[in-house]
Amino acid sequence: MVTPQPPVPWLSIVGIGEDGPDALSPAARALVDQAEVLIGGDRHLAMLPADDTRRRIPWPSPLRALVETIESLKPRRVCVLATGDPFCFGIGTTLARRIPLDEMVVVPGVSARTLVCSRLGWPQHTTRLLTLHGRPLALLEPHLQPGARLIVLSEDATTPAAIAARLTERGFGPSTMTVLERMGGPAEHRLDGRADAWAHAPGEDFNTVAVTVTAGPDVRPLSTLAGLPDDAFSHDGRMTKREVRAVTLAALAPNPGELLWDVGAGCGSVAVEWMRSHELNRAIAVEPKPERRAMIAGNAERLGTPGLNIVDGAAPAALSGLEPPDAVFIGGGASEPGVIEACWAALKPGGRLVANTVTLESEAVLLAKHAEMGGELVRIAVERATPVGPYRGWRPLMPVTQWRIAKPYGAAK
């Protein structure tokens, strides 16, 4: 029997720093020298000798076109020059989705995170890394907690001032910022200051921002744990209240990278908190009313989950064609025919379904489903202290009936 030979790597990805090709290891330099085609940003390609006549391809826009270009070059030897570590918010992640790893060789360089920590004396495990390159500024929001050390990969020269303005607007003006431009090369430059006094003019597009988050005297930091205050959200009164929301998120049990369907999303509070629990979590909010979809979008932007997918429509029809979820929350419409059945059919094995209701009609549906399918039934009753004349008394919220059920791992999809 003939043993199949492994593929011959034809693609190399080499991390290169501001110190240029001369600082590459011998192995990395050999990959660059042996390549027939070189691909990189304008800054990377400008580091190569002027008399190098090999074909050069700069990053296209949109970047997804690059993958198709690279695939069309196989089996020619192709070398992609990347900034630092190609798998740290880099091109390596994009290419690995389409090209098998055994067809490529990757030699990473020093990441921006490593360089920042070496400049500021920060232990890496105490930092949070995020990128605003091609992404909205709202992604800062879940990380605005006193004492957090943020390392932010910038979009361009305007990013530091935008970060400073956002921090100041949100009450974190005393936060200290350090901007490190063109780290690792002869043109490296550093700027320091407070967010609320940031007066530096835009400098280099290639920069990284380090932030030590400090709260102002009147700020109310928001946790990433479930149960944000109700007034953290824009809403019309029809929302899953704080105490019930915390219990609901605990029952949904978010794990990193999972997808939630928030069906009858209202103001989107459950979907937003699901996504805030981990940066890899995703959610789809299904809501038929336009004024509520507008509230969902505003809450998502303000609370740091701008990637929340908002779907116009009512269940079950609006659920057709959506990516199968790892968890489903039915906050509205549980009594509508076919809603629970459609959600259960789409739910992945091992997934969790949680349905809340305050109406007798929907409660009857949940009681029947519990009798048919099992799971747990819970009644959640909350009372809040409110003024009663010159005194205070307990005012009950409407009790919530909650049905929870998990789909067995061995269940058919």
Per-residue pLDDT, 333: 87
* Residue 354 pLDDT greater than 70, yes or no: yes
Q: What is the pLDDT of residues 125-154, one digit of tens each?
A: 999 999 999 899 999 999 999 999 999 999
What is the mean predicted confidence (pLDDT) over 352-361?
A: 96
Distance CA 186, CA 339 (A): 62
| Number of residues in the chain | 413
Q: Where in the chain is the domain with CATH 3.40.50.150?
A: 230-406
- Taking each helix axis from N to C end, the angle separating 290-302 and 269-276, rounded to the nearest 10 degrees, works out to 20
Per-residue pLDDT, 2: 56
What is the mean predicted confidence (pLDDT) over 262-266?
A: 96
* Residue 20 pLDDT greater than 60, yes or no: yes
Per-residue pLDDT, 413: 54
Q: Which residues make beta-bridge pairs with 396?
A: 383
Long-range contacts (CB closer than 8 Å, 24 or more residues apart) made by 367-376: 369/340, 369/403, 370/403, 370/405, 373/344, 373/405, 374/405, 375/403, 375/404, 375/405, 375/406, 376/403, 376/404, 376/405
Q: Which residues contact 389 (CB under 8 A, 6 or more apart)?
A: none
What is the mean predicted confidence (pLDDT) over 232-236?
A: 94
Q: Which of 11, 10, 8 is nearest to 95 (CA)?
A: 11
Q: Which residues make beta-bridge pairs with 57?
A: 39
* Residue 6 pLDDT greater than 70, yes or no: no
Per-residue pLDDT, 61: 74
Q: What average pLDDT is seen over the chain? A: 94
Per-residue pLDDT, 409: 87
* Residue 65 pLDDT greater than 90, yes or no: no
Q: Where in the chain is the domain with CATH 3.40.1010.10?
A: 11-110
* Residue 332 pLDDT greater than 90, yes or no: no
Report helix, strand or coil for 95: helix
Per-residue pLDDT, 412: 60
Residue 350 dihedral angles phi and psi, to the nearest 5°: 85, -5
Which of these CATH numbers, 3.10.310.10, 3.40.50.720, 3.10.310.30, 3.30.950.10, describes 113-212? Answer: 3.30.950.10
Per-residue pLDDT, 59: 86
Q: What percentage of the chain has pLDDT greater than the value 70?
A: 98
Per-residue pLDDT, 50: 87
> Can you name the CATH fold of 11-110?
Cobalt-precorrin-4 Transmethylase; domain 1 (3.40.1010)
Distance CA 248, CA 266 (A): 15
* Residue 280 pLDDT greater than 60, yes or no: yes
Tell me, what amino acid is at 341?
A: E
Per-residue pLDDT, 8: 75
Q: What is the pLDDT of residues 297-307, one digit of tens each?
A: 999 999 999 99
Per-residue pLDDT, 3: 60
> Which CATH architecture group holds 230-406?
3-Layer(aba) Sandwich (3.40)
What is the mean predicted confidence (pLDDT) over 15-31?
A: 92
What is the bridge-based pairing of β-strands 127-131 and 176-181?
A: unpaired
Q: What is the pLDDT of residues 306-316, one digit of tens each?
A: 999 999 999 99
Which runs of consecutive H residues, i.e. helices, occur in 53-194? Answer: 64-73, 91-96, 112-120, 159-169
Per-residue pLDDT, 301: 96
Q: Where in the chain is the domain with CATH 3.30.950.10?
A: 113-212
Per-residue pLDDT, 7: 67
